[in-house]
Amino acid sequence: MVGRTRTPGKFVKNFSVISVSEVVRVTLRRRRINRVATISVHTSPLDQPGTGDAGGMNVYIVEVAKRLAALGIEVEIFTRRTARDLPPVAEIVPGVLVRHVTAGPYEELDRADLPGQLCGFLSGVLRTEAMYDPGRYDVIHSHYWLSGQVGWLAKERWGVPLVHTMHTMAKVKNLLLAEGDRPEPKMRVLGEEQVVEVADRLVANTEAEAGELIDLYGAVRERVAVVNPGVNLTVFRPGSKSEARRRLGLARDAHVLLFVGRIQPLKAPDVLLRAAARMLVENPALRSRLVVACVGGPSGNGLAHPSLLADLAAELGVSDVVRLAPPAPQEELADWYRAADLTVVPSHNESFGLVALESQACGTPVAAASVGGLRTAVQDGVSGVLVGTHDPGDWARALGRLVERPSLLDELSANAVRHATGFGWSATAARLVDVYAGAIAQLHRMPVAVNS
């Protein structure tokens, strides 16, 4: 240990004993939020969203961290090291560091295997903090239940509050399982219950999610804060549909239905393909112009059948209208949204649905399942439509009505942009700062200033 060693319950620095209570006093003297320790065990913010375990949570962590840094609050993101050549520390932007913690083998692990690595991960997090003066972190923000378990122990050690965002919840997922999907294990349910009990604040993406935390997990209402995620309005913005189609090799007069996301049962891309097959049966003339584009890679349970969409398209006889594309960086993804007539989000559950928001910000309306946070992300009948079932026939009728009414799509498109502009990441970060300050104030029974 550089410059300092620890004994249980105490810090030893320059051979003088400093008690845990002094760490708290250091924080109290500062009375300002200077640095956040963000915990993301199972997926790195540097990973490409849309494949593996990387998705909306990755986007959330990166965008919030950047906005917090712009407010003068430093963010250090702890994530598991999955390759030997990854640097110990990487800077995303000034004020935002990613710390790669060695815990287990240098490879991607299934989430079911990660609980066995939490002890090693926690040790790496605590060792990092121990290299600095007491009071380095003012608050911990953990993401997903595995990170919450690490945050729980770190909060006790450091004497700082734990703010936790679930992103997805086992009890909710198990109530809304896709056909053939596996239920979440009891170990995860128990782990989530423990995190809910110990967290100083729980951040819910929507009022609906807040209700689920309270009703299904017994969360204390006063500890639950609703903070809507945002969208990068600089990257995701309206643009030329014809130019986007030219860059992507799509015909100018095509009817483009777009799916973006990880290929797994929860996201239900099969519903879109089955609906497209129904549409072609009902309107064979549509085949010459219909394009069903799916941008993403296999993930989770989808890894067991990585060729699922290609095989399903062949089985349904729609391979000629289906275009499969790998996960795309944000600039290219924005082109996919602009090129589409409609983005389709048929998920069985979404805590929010960043894809829906990104699409609308680009001026492309959304057809989404009426579940979870999608009811907030999409303004039904205004910026898109919500479909109340996962029956392919219902989706075929809903999509067919929109494809056949370009004037309605134009109206929804204009409204989609207006709706999405109400969700910016800067507003999300500002609201989170309030949540952090409230958690610190309650823990230490004192007012907390934030950087301006």
Q: Which residue ranges are tagged as binding site for 1D-myo-inositol 3-phosphate? A: 42, 53-58, 111, 144, 168, 188
Calculate the alpha carbon distances from 10 to 15, 127, 281 in Å: 12, 14, 72
Residue 19, number of CB atoms within 10 A of its CB: 12
Tell me which residue of 50, 53, 52, 77 sits closest to 63, measured CA to CA: 77
> Which residues contribute to the annotated binding site for UDP-N-acetyl-alpha-D-glucosamine?
48-49, 56, 262, 267, 350, 358
> Which residues contribute to the annotated binding site for Mg(2+)?
337-338, 340, 364
Beta-bridge mates of residue 325: 295
Q: How far is CA 243 from the centre of its chain?
A: 29
> Which residues contribute to the annotated binding site?
42, 48-49, 53-58, 111, 144, 168, 188, 262, 267, 337-338, 340, 350, 358, 364
Q: How far is CA 173 from the centre of its chain?
A: 15
| 98, 89 contact by CB (below 8 A) | yes
| 431, 227 contact by CB (below 8 A) | yes
Distance CA 217, CA 170 (A): 10
Calculate the alpha carbon distances from 448 to 31, 71, 312 in Å: 5, 15, 55
Residue 299, number of CB atoms within 10 A of its CB: 21
